[in-house]
Amino acid sequence: MLDCRGPRLPRVLHWGRPLPHASDADLTALALASLPATVPNSLDTPASVAVVPEPATGWFGLPGVLGHRDGRHWSPLFETEHVGVHDRGAGEGGEVAVLASDAGCGLSLELRLDLTAVGVLRMRAVLRNTASGWYTLDGLVMALPVPAEATELLDFTGRWSRERDPQRRAFSAGAHVRDGRRGRTGSDASFVLVAGEKGFGFRSGQVWGVHVGWSGNHRTYAERLPTGDSVVGGGELLQSGEVRLAPGASYETPWVYAAHGDGLDEMAARFHRLVRSGRGDRRPVIVNTWEAVYFDHDLGRLTALVDAAAEVGAERFVLDDGWFRGRRDDRAGLGDWFVDEARWPEGLHPLVERVRARGMDFGLWVEPEMVNPDSDLARAHPDWIMATECRQPPSSRHQQVLDLRRREAYEYILERLDALVREYRIAFLKWDHNRDLVDAGVHEQTRAVYRLMDELRARHPGLEIESCSSGGARVDLGILERTDRVWASDCIDGIERQAIQRWTALLLPPELIGSHVGSARAHTTGRTQSLALRAGTALFGHFGIEWDLTAASGEERAELRRWVQLYKRMRGWLHRGLVVRADHPDPALWLHGIVSADREQALFSVVAMATGARTQPGRVRIPGLDPHRRYHVRPLAPGDSPGTTAVTPNPWLAEGVVVTGRMLAEVGLSAPPLHPEQLLLLHVTKA
């Protein structure tokens, strides 16, 4: 509910549970009832926060616009000139466009608030310099109020191989500001910032969440003033002097997304429906070569891996790092995007032909935004390395950033990628980005990367791109406007991935989250885990394999083939279904699943993340089904025989049990006492 009355910028009166039967009179009354007692033209009146907060109104929180004109015009006060409303019809959402200006400061502001049909609000602002002199913009963020009932905050931190690690705290007075300054989204990004009622969980408590859809520096924040006013918001984080507006020039913010839910699952479902809109359903089984061979590229070895991949049912074969000139490790070659003639005298054609002959399409790893100082490109064009006027930034992973703001560097990379995709008819690019940006022009670099991806996709409409960035360090809705999935983490240890995928799915539907089956001993943690845990975890994502299958036993390959067949059989409805997670009192036992859109079937996973607090875990509730239907719940092979401490199995596990959806949600079923790091699959079908 947006209040656009009067000369000031619009303010949000309500975003939360729907008000389906509210009349115009009801809304007008609510708007009037929401205003505090006023003293005309006085700071004794509490300021109502606008979508772009303005200190000039008496708002003492973080300002929406930070900037100046040679030390002047640093506090604009915008006056609304026009409000345009586009109502798409019942259930389809609508859009409000607002034009406002401050003639004294020489600025105009365009606001766009789009309430999508799935219930996600997205907001964007355009600031234009209407005066004759230059204007320096240091920041522009947008904000939404949250009610006093929101007393807790959830956001995320993390590191390489442990991305999206949740952290909760009280929503107390002051500003909780999360700035991402890595030049990319970052492993430690706040990701989604959620304000919620005390004790909120996946299935309970109102929550209000925001996400900044931008792949460069960004700010997300929550703030509570002593007056009781509270907001959540965010936008791009600009570096000093990064955006200076010439007369007539403008700056456009990234989209800021916001969604409400009764529980985290409902909020996530809104984001999922938004992200899924317009995307295809094709999610082929991938085999990626990285953990199988690393840099050891040998045609014979890779050909054997192709044959093993086809044997287990793979549909896409992706050649990872190591195929281009001078690339024997991570110290050299980045930027020289030509096939290494020493390793591949006939180019990649023999391998690609074998891949296609075995019924798979071909994908390739690239890292177009980076350059090794030890490369032909860096030696020929040292000025293409992004640097300040006086020094190069410190190297990371033996690499620097290629300055795509430079037209020549941009055109070189576009030509190389275009040529590779054409020559080898590449279906899929694993697009990596392995270092933070330091001393860098992040704003224009991010925009250049977006243009590069957009142009490449325009030239090759069927090309799919994965966003990979030191694992999961670039996961946001800005990059996902132009990519088809994300690599959630370089860690594919089953237990670690359970947590990473659980929280990545707060924003992204599972089929956009690349999830691979690794070798029995995880390369990043050293833990040894069952194939059921590894494959059962990958089943709830975009399924892939990252394992030297030529070294796997025949028994292991046969079992893996069964998991691949299960994925293929179910992905049609899994990738359109509703993600459901249960709130179980024992943090060692996790239950999550996907319910089909027609609610006629579901697939759930019960996972022992560690040893439980009690000998018997008790009942697990299975939510999300039709409460009035009867369902048959039974274990599903090949995830039907986890290790347990039970002398005899739970009686219902042998043949399953038939109960109503309401009984499953309210009462639940007795869970087996699983050994740690064990997974049980449950298939729920209409009885």
- Given 3, 155, 484, 490, the catalytic residue: 490
552 near 292, Cβ under 8 Å? Answer: no
Reported as type and span, the H/E element at residue 420 is helix 407-424
If phi > 0 it is left, if psi is from -120 to 50 it is alpha, else beta; for residue 307 that is alpha
Rounded Cα gap, residues 563 and 639, in angstroms: 9
3-state secondary structure of 455: helix
Residue 620's closest CA among 658, 666, 554, 560?
Answer: 666
Rounded Cα gap, residues 185 and 303, in angstroms: 36
Q: Is 340 a catalytic residue?
A: no
Structure tokens at 470: 């030191």
| Amino acid at the residue 82 | H
Q: Is 476 a catalytic residue?
A: no
**Residue showing tokens 């089984």:** 285
Q: What is the DSSP string of 280-334?
A: ------EEE-HHHHTT---HHHHHHHHHHHHHHT--EEEE-S--BTT-SSTTS-T
Count other Cβ atoms within 10 Å, centred on residue 420: 19
- Given 102, 265, 432, 476, the catalytic residue: 432
Rounded Cα gap, residues 130 and 453, in angstroms: 32
- CA dihedral (29, 31, 37, 42) positive or negative: negative
Strands 250-252 and 121-129: antiparallel
Rounded Cα gap, residues 484 and 477, in angstroms: 11
- CA dihedral (209, 213, 216, 217) positive or negative: negative
Q: How many C-alpha atoms does 625 have within 13 Å on its Cβ side?
A: 31
**Span between the terminal Cα atoms of the chain, in Å:** 43
Which of the residues are catalytic? 432, 490
